[in-house]
Amino acid sequence: MTVLSSRPDAQEARAAHSALARVRRYLQEHPEELTTVPVLVEDSREELVLPRSAVELLAGVLAHMAAGRGVSVVPSHAELTTQESADMLNVSRPYLIGLLETGEIEYRKVGTHRRVRADSLMDYLRRDDQRRREAADELSAMTRELGLD
């Protein structure tokens, strides 16, 4: 299942901000050992029990909406076009194709078209984030060594 949400309007962003604060507070106040979270449906007063991981994912979605950004939820096994992949990475399509061609991101060909699995994009993002953190740590260490901090 893929859920696509356009950019939230101001009212939706405010509602997401309010809900986010409540969800984060609940998650912080309740131990991580809880595998499920009760959720009260306001109109019917019906209680749903959701997996904690789903509520944590919801908190991430709410954070993006509160910041006025649209949200896409894509299954890890989904195959994306090169344009969809580039959009997810916030890079140009030619840059993405370069990453594919150098083997930075796995892909397969369907006829003449490239398809990228969402989990391959996430693996690349994790590796890229790690490289960036390591580079920032090196710069910090060099700054300390030179006494420039």
Name 19's bridge partners: none
pLDDT higher than threshold 80 for residue 3: no
Domain ranges of the chain: 3-73, 79-145
**Per-residue pLDDT, 37:** 86
- The encoded tokens of residue 18 equal 């309010």
Q: Which of 121, 118, 139 is nearest to 2 (CA)?
A: 118
pLDDT higher than threshold 80 for residue 6: no
Q: Which CATH architecture has domain 3-73?
A: Alpha-Beta Complex (3.90)
Indicate the pTM of the whole model.
0.61
- Residue pair 97/82 in contact (Cβ under 8 Å)? The answer is yes
62-113, pLDDT tens digit by residue?
A: 998 999 888 877 888 899 999 999 988 889 999 999 999 999 999 999 999 9
Side chain identity at residue 117, one-letter code: R
